[in-house]
Amino acid sequence: MLPPVHPQTLADVSEDDLLALIFPSLPTNDSVLVGPGDDTAQLATGSGAVLATTDAMVLGRDWRDEWSTGEDVGRKCVAQNVADIAAMGGVTTGLLITLVAAPETNVAWVQSFTKGLVAAAGEIGVAVLGGDLSSAPAGVRMISVTALGETEVPVVHRSGATPGDVIAFAGSLGRSAAGLELLQRGTPDLAPELVAYHCRPRAAYEQGPVAARCGATAMLDLSDGLVRDLGRIAKASGVRAQLDGAALAPFVEALATAVGEEARACVLTGGEEHSLLATFPDRGAVPEGWHVLGTVGEGAGVVLDGELQHGGGWDHFAG
């Protein structure tokens, strides 16, 4: 093969390709109970264990100052990390926060961010353990959060789904994407509650440990869209995920008044919802408050009423 004319950049590869380049070489040791590739890692700590996950937010990519206050960003960065701990069946106990910001950043923004962070963490009993502050080039602001947690039951991986299992979720579908759609259209007043959910998601964290105790066989939180995230369970478990259109219909319908034709895409591929998606051995095991969306079968990929669904959802680098 001829060498490429220009060096390959991140814009030329998908996030998954890049992860595949990085993951095989990562060092491990005897303390690692769960390594890379799940919602969180788990590390032995003497006689105990800690769940650990990290997630970043970048100005202009993950939020815009016109649409989100500092307080919103503070709340959102808590939500997305705590949801990852919940998706293993765990409870978050502490957070580390890194703020990298350009010198022209207003102190008032940092105070507003801290207010949201403190409120979101405090409401669910999570401690802020510390962090790091660093300056950035003009125009740049980003947050990196690490959440630490624990679980009283064995963790729920993405890889445990088997044919015959039932697919269900706790929380909402497509609300964050619908809220973003309204902001992009300039019509946030059509459904302020959807816009509020986009800016300040609040996932059903407490349902993570509930699902684990009820015997969930696989679980994750909806970060990048239902089809894409369900595809991750299907791939990790070596199964086919079969969505039932009739079960999804009420959730599409609920968004139709606000975003019309886009409602279906919001439900199937909308990211940043942070609801919990899990598989259970049978309908009887599905906890109260969870919504059944389909079943697990033999094969691969995600199908909706028998039709294979492709990709969708968010990729950080794909052009």
Site for its own copies in 168-227 (CB under 8 A): none
Nearest to 169 by CA among 272, 255, 271, 289: 289
Interaxial angle between packed helices 175-185 and 245-259, expressed in degrees from 0 to 180 and rounded to the nearest 10 = 30
Of 69, 98, 159, 162, the one binding its own copies (CB under 8 A) is 98
Using CB under 8 A as the binding rule, the residues of this chain from 44 to 83 that contact its own copies are 44-50, 52-58, 60-62
**Contact characters 16-35, its own copies, x per CB under 8 A:** --xx-xx--xxxxx-xx--x
Q: State the Cα–Cα distance between residues 156 and 90, nearest whole angstrom.
A: 9
d(CA 208, CA 83): 8
Q: Binding to its own copies by residue 94, rule CB under 8 A?
A: yes
Stretch that binds its own copies, among 101-109, 169-177, 241-249, 298-306 (CB under 8 A): 101-109
CA 219/CA 98 separation, integer angstroms: 28
When binding is defined by CB under 8 A, the residue of 112, 128, 256, 299 that contacts its own copies is: 128
Q: Is 146 in the site for its own copies (CB under 8 A)?
A: yes
Contact with its own copies (CB under 8 A): which of 20, 64, 132, 289? 132
Q: Considering only CA atoms, which of 166, 161, 154, 300 is closest in space to residue 217?
A: 161
Name the minimum Å distance from CB 212 to its own copies.
16
Q: Which stretch binds its own copies (CB under 8 A): 114-122, 200-208, 211-219, 232-240?
A: 114-122
Site size toward its own copies, by CB under 8 A:
87
- Which residues are CB-contacts of 140 (< 8 A; sequence separation ≥ 6)? 59, 100, 101, 102
Largest separation between any pair of C-alpha atoms in the chain: 58
Residue numbers 287-316 binding its own copies by CB under 8 A = 316
- 109 annotated binding-site participant: no
Give Cα separations from 292 to 167, 179, 288 (angstroms): 6, 24, 11
Region from 146-154, 170-178, 249-257, 303-311 binding its own copies, contact rule CB under 8 A: 146-154
Residue numbers belonging to the annotated binding site for Mg(2+): 39, 53-55, 84, 132, 221, 224
